[in-house]
Amino acid sequence: FQTVIAGGPVIDHRKNIYVAATDGVRKFSQNGTVLWHKRSYGGLTHAPSLVGSMVMTSHSNGVVMGLDAETGRVIWSRRWTKESPRTGVFPAGYGNKWVFGTEIGQDPRRPGGAALAWALRPQDGWLTWNFRGENAFVNFAPLFPGDDTMVIMDFTGMVYRIDLRDGEVLWKSRPKGNHRSYSEGGAVIGPNEVVYTCSNPGASYGREGELGALRAYALSNGTMLWEQILPHPCNGNPSISNLTKEKASRLSVVVAPGSNLKHTPDLHGSVMAFDAHTGSLQWRYQAPRINQPIGATNLLWEGSPQKSEYDGTCYPSHWSSPRISTDGSVWAARADGKIYNVKGPVHDAPEASIALSRESDKLDLDFQTTAGVQVHQTAVSGPSTTGAMAFSPGMTVMSTCNSLYVYEH
């Protein structure tokens, strides 16, 4: 592309692919044909989402649009705010509400993120309510349990459950001592009605050498069920599924810890699987350290002269959010320009071989990979953002900052 891809791909029921970038939204057929391209001059940097027969988009200049998914025609366009975050907004909808993040957070500890969650009606774009959390939402991604409520996490790891009908807070749960922390992570809701979050404990800002945290909360009332402190920062979204055919009823929650890319070129990263019910560690993989500088990447030099019309800055993540395939392997793209496919051992490893700490009171930054873990790497054109990977039966789609890859299998 001669532009920067935002968020990641979305796949519809016909295996068409939708991708947002700074120059607009494109719809591709599964064989790579561009079916339409709706150009944008408002700095479109947010991931698209599908609501019925519409593609919903939001822009960094505050404009939101509803597009006809078949043709790309604008059904409605509204501007409800002057500006929205340039990156890290993954709008989504449920029922008669579509929720997006807006108003750039001004917290002096870490400006950025979306300070407000706004809900509008998909059919006409009219606002119904807005919600301001105690802290901004970084990598804004609302979750819907299917009962007219919404779950979302702010940058300190605080979790909120919101009534979709009127924006009322049903409960909020703040991890003890976490008010000084910062994370670019998020949450996932399991089929077991548990919310799992990836954030950072204490005063950790998600930097190299700091700790991360994986936590489980009851969806019904926000009670914390368990917590695992991680040897690497947690700056992504968890995934939950069954990892082994032998134990089909056993759910596992997977995270890809790794520090943010703002401070040092020598970065640890890992992939870990935990028992979703108890929080016990099942296996872990220590990825090769990243030893080159990776940060905000400007791509203005690429492509045609028209490229200069757009902001070519890409803000990649250390890892994309991990995805779990039907064979139990975990897929994630990394800032080193590789896709990792990680599969844990068939049988549980002995507890001593997967312990989180070298000593009872010290987390092991350079831990050893669990015996039996298998890893395959595929090189791509560069780093990507949090929502870089999407799956459909027989198809894997992945985006980097400036390229789209489609794999058939």
Identify the three-state secondary structure at position 44. Answer: coil
pLDDT > 70? residue 387: yes
Identify the three-state secondary structure at position 354. Answer: helix
Q: How far apart are CA 98 and CA 77, in angstroms?
A: 14
Distance of CA 241 to the CA centre of its chain: 16
pLDDT of residue 218: 99
Instruction: Quickly name the fold that domain 1-150 has.
Output: Methylamine Dehydrogenase; Chain H (2.130.10)
Domain ranges across the chain: 1-150, 175-409
Question: What pLDDT band is residue 155 in, cutting at 50, 70 and 90?
Answer: very high
Instruction: Quickly name the fold that domain 175-409 has.
Output: Lipocalin (2.40.128)
Of 98-107, 202-211, 279-288, 307-316, the range with the lowest mean pLDDT is 307-316
Residue scoring higher pLDDT (251 or 82):
251
Question: Is the CA virtual torsion 239, 240, 242, 247 positive or negative?
Answer: positive
Identify the three-state secondary structure at position 54. Answer: strand
Residues pairing with 181 in the sheet: none
The answer to whether 283 and 342 are in contact (CB under 8 A) is no
Residues pairing with 374 in the sheet: 343
The per-residue pLDDT for range 28-84, each reduced to its tens digit, is: 999 999 999 998 766 666 889 999 999 998 888 888 999 999 999 999 999 888 888
Identify the three-state secondary structure at position 353. Answer: helix
List the one residue out of 401, 154, 380, 152 whose CA is nearest residue 261.
401
Locate 228 and state its tokens.
Answer: 């695992």
pLDDT > 80? residue 181: yes
Identify the three-state secondary structure at position 209. Answer: coil
Query: Do 1-150 and 175-409 agree at the fold level?
Result: no
Question: What pLDDT band is residue 308 in, cutting at 50, 70 and 90?
Answer: very low
Burial class (CB within 10 angstroms; exposed 0-12, middle 13-18, buried 19+) of 124: exposed
pLDDT > 50? residue 91: yes
Q: How far apart are CA 312 and CA 39, in angstroms?
A: 16
Question: What pLDDT band is residue 351 in, cutting at 50, 70 and 90?
Answer: low
